[in-house]
Amino acid sequence: MPYRKPTHAGQSPLTSVPATSRPSANGDGQPAERAGAQDPPRRRVLLLNNTFEPLTALPLRRAVVLVVCGKAEVVHGDAAGLVLHSATTTVEVPSVIRLSNFVRVPYRGRVPLSRSALMLRDGNRCAYCSARAETIDHVVPRSRGGSHSWENCVACCAKCNRRKADKLPREISMHPKREPRPPSPNVFIHVAGPRIPKDWAQYIP
């Protein structure tokens, strides 16, 4: 079944099909079903402020609603050229959209610490040996007075985590290869869309 967007009363559902296709209407005026049409419910769309500042990554259906309602415009469309068709509307599947009006964003202070954001900051690599990270280590153990903060938490493999245990770095000569720091506020865009499309890269510091 093709992917159908939620609709408001009186609106026709939208169906995702390649831009080169021309869907034919069936007896009730709706687009004909197409076998093999892409199913994009997990697709994310980068949302830019009116000033092209990156704000967040939205689910596709929310981005389409903003475009259809005139609250945003498509800056970059789908690389494969997909469009959404209904009996009365055709909308380009967006990759990046921009708000029509400027939205004042509150000051972005310190980014809350989370496992997914920390793993992203450290590239899913152990801070001590560069192997694939499986857990989080407190550089100064909590039992030794260490804090649960960006400056004291690093991604860590199970082997290094067991070896370090509750020892201080100087006691076992294990120091992170890089000093842990808070990430950019844009880390949440990367968390929402781990595979950053080329269209996004120019807008994300």
Is residue 180, in this structure, part of any structural domain at all? Answer: no
> Do 191 and 157 share a structural domain?
no
Which has more confidence, 105 or 199? Answer: 199
Percent of the chain with pLDDT over 90: 46
> Do 122 and 105 share a structural domain?
no
> Do 101 and 189 share a structural domain?
yes
Number of domains, the chain: 2
Is residue 190, in this structure, part of any structural domain at all? Answer: yes
pLDDT score for 11: 46
Q: For residue 78, what pLDDT band results from cuts at 50, 70 and 90? A: confident
For residues 66 and 59, give the distance between their C-alpha atoms in angstroms, rounded to a whole number: 11
Q: What is the 3-state secondary structure (H, E, C) of 142-191?
A: HHHCCCCCCCCEEEECHHHHHHHCCCCHHHHCCCCCCCCCCCCCCHHHHH
Q: For residue 86, what pLDDT band results from cuts at 50, 70 and 90? A: confident
Give residue for tokens 């005139």: 70
> Do 79 and 21 share a structural domain?
yes
Cβ count near 200 (within 10 Å): 21
Provide the residue range defining the domain that includes 123: 115-172
- Does 83 have pLDDT greater than 60? yes
For residues 192 and 186, give the distance between their C-alpha atoms in angstroms, rounded to a whole number: 10
Is residue 177, in this structure, part of any structural domain at all? Answer: no
- Does 101 have pLDDT greater than 80? yes
Is residue 195, in this structure, part of any structural domain at all? Answer: yes
- Does 12 have pLDDT greater than 50? no
> Do 202 and 104 share a structural domain?
yes
> Do 13 and 104 share a structural domain?
yes
- Does 33 have pLDDT greater than 80? no
Is residue 194, in this structure, part of any structural domain at all? Answer: yes
Query: Phi then psi for 187, rounded to 5 degrees?
Result: -60, -30
> Do 72 and 19 share a structural domain?
yes
> Do 144 and 90 share a structural domain?
no
Q: For residue 30, what pLDDT band results from cuts at 50, 70 and 90? A: very low
Q: Please compute the mean of the pLDDT values over residues 19-37 and round it to a whole number.
A: 39
> Do 56 and 5 share a structural domain?
yes
- Does 54 have pLDDT greater than 50? yes
pLDDT score for 193: 58
pLDDT score for 40: 56
